[in-house]
Amino acid sequence: MVSRPWRAPDRHWPERPDVVGGLDVLAGGSWFGLNDRGVMATILNRVGTLGPAAGKRSRGTLVLEALEHASAQAAADLFRFREGAEYRAFNMLIADGVAAYWVCHREDGGPVQVQILSPGVSMLAGFDLNDDHDPRIRAYGPTFRLAPPPVPESGDWSAWQALLASRTFAPEAGPKGAMCFMTGTGFGTGSSSLMALPAPRLGRAPLWLFAAGPPDRTAHERITALESGKQREGIVRTVESGQLPPHTRSAASFKGMDHASADQW
């Protein structure tokens, strides 16, 4: 809900100095974050589970838990077969420059399930991964797959930015079938992110562009809080490997929020 107070991505957690993320002011967690090791995590409500519930923890704390790890695989393994009874149902995406994982806790209350994503474009909303029951995935999945991929090195995200800003929807789907929408109840698109995650061998830092409002009228701007983590991460990797990290181009990209896709090239 757009009325739920939040703050734009930054280093909001003194006890987690290596984490940059959007802050859920109400519960203290995050819906989208990145750590200085290049691991990102984003969480989505599954259909019919919007908002808090008595006796359940905020799902935003799961993003912070995932970002305690040095790789997406390690973070995903944390959730594999974990009991999810403490939380309402959720979809989660965890990724780095090596792999991306869908983490799912369904409404039936069974154990959390983890699936690695195949190469290419995937979309995730309130149903399952690439599930055409979601009108946005049904309408926009083919469009994203045909669109020119972003080129983070040159700053060209134009095709995906145009799609993220689209308010076009099929008549039978209604406004919630658009990528960018707002309902009369306050449920809708309150922000937007574009993220590129480089493969480790390329030695480049991740890139995160954030629109602090609906992307059809709010520009995506670079998250500068990532810059303060570059020196610390360089020191850590130098100690681990015994050499300075190389500098070359980015090789992976992720596009997220309540409509997430992953792409490798």
Question: What DSSP letter does each residue of 45-70 carry, written as one string?
Answer: EPTT--S--TT---THHHHHHHTTSS
Residue 102 near residue 114 (C-beta atoms within 8 A): yes
- Record the tokens describing residue 189, joined without a space: 């698109």
Residue 230 within any structural domain of the chain: yes
Whose tokens are 């083919």? That residue is: 142
Residue 239 lies in a domain: yes
Residue 46 lies in a domain: yes
Closest by Cα among 95, 89, 25 to 67: 95
pTM: 0.85
For the stretch 97-123, pLDDT in tens is 999 999 999 988 788 999 999 999 999
| Cβ–Cβ < 8 Å for 62, 43 | yes
Per-residue pLDDT tens over the stretch 120-157: 999 999 999 999 999 999 999 999 999 999 999 999 99
pLDDT tens digits, residue range 68-90? 999 999 999 999 878 877 888 99
Contact of 101 with 124, CB cutoff 8 Å = no
Under 8 Å between Cβ of 63 and 110: no
Domain assignment of residue 1, yes or no: no
Q: Which domain holds residue 79?
A: 6-264
**Would 74 be classed as within a structural domain?**
yes
Tell me whether residue 104 is in a domain: yes
Domains in the chain, number: 1
pLDDT at 111: 87
Residue 24 included in any domain: yes
Residue 85 lies in a domain: yes
Q: Determine the 3-state secondary structure of 74 from DSSP.
A: helix
CATH number at residue 114: 3.60.60
